[in-house]
Amino acid sequence: MTTFGYFLSCEEHGPKELVRQAKAAERAGFEALWISDHFHPWLDEQGQAPFVWSVIGAIAEATSLPITTAVTCPLVRTHPVVIAHATATTAALTGGRFRLGVGTGEALNEHVVDSRWPPLSERLEMLEEAIELMRELFTGKLVTHRGRHYQVDTARLYTLPDEPAPILVSGLGEKSTALAGRLGDGYVSVAPDADAVRAFRAAGGTGKPALGGLKACYAEDEKAARKTVHRLWPTQGIKGEAAQLLPLPRHFEQLAEMVSEDDAVAGSPVGPDPEVHAQAIRQYVEAGFDEVYVNQIGPEQDAFFDFYQREVLPRVR
Residue 225 identity (one-letter amino acid): A
Strands 33-35 and 167-170: unpaired
pLDDT of residue 85: 98
Residue 232 in domain: no
What is the H or E stretch that residue 115 is in? none
236 within some domain:
no
Q: Is residue 243 part of a domain?
A: no
Q: Residue 17's pLDDT is what?
A: 98
Q: Print burial letters for 4-13: b (CB count within 10 Å at least 16), e (below 16).
A: bbbbbbbbbb
DSSP for 131-153 reads HHHHHHHTTTS-EEEE-SS-EEE
pLDDT bin (cut points 50, 70, 90) of residue 157 is very high
Distance of CA 80 to the CA centre of its chain: 18
Is 38 annotated as catalytic?
A: yes
Look at the chain and report how many structural domains it folds into: 1
Q: What is the mean pLDDT of residues 223-235?
A: 98
In a domain, 260, yes or no: no
CA–CA separation, 69 and 168 (whole Å): 9
Q: Which residues pair with 293 in a beta bridge?
A: 5, 213
CA 71, CA 137: separation in Å to the nearest integer?
20
pLDDT class of 98 with cuts at 50, 70, 90: very high
**Catalytic residue status for 85:** no
Give the domain CATH number at 55. 3.20.20.30
Collapse the DSSP code of 295 into the 3-class scheme (helix H, G, I; strand E, B; otherwise coil) and give the result.
strand
Residue-level pLDDT at 200: 98
The C-alpha atoms of residue 144 and residue 264 are separated, in whole angstroms, by 47
Residue 161: inside a domain: yes
In-domain check, residue 198:
yes
Among 12, 26, 106, 110, the active-site one is: 106
Q: Which long-range contacts does 131-134 make (Cβ < 8 Å, 24+ apart)? A: 131/74, 131/80, 131/102, 131/167, 131/169, 131/183, 131/184, 132/183, 133/80, 133/81, 133/84, 134/74, 134/80, 134/83, 134/84, 134/87, 134/100, 134/167
In a domain, 262, yes or no: no
Of the residues 13, 26, 38, 300, which is catalytic? 38
Residue 24: which domain range? 3-220+270-315
Which pLDDT does position 191 carry in this prediction? 96
Q: What is the mean pLDDT of the chain?
A: 98
Question: Would residue 227 count as lying in a domain?
Answer: no
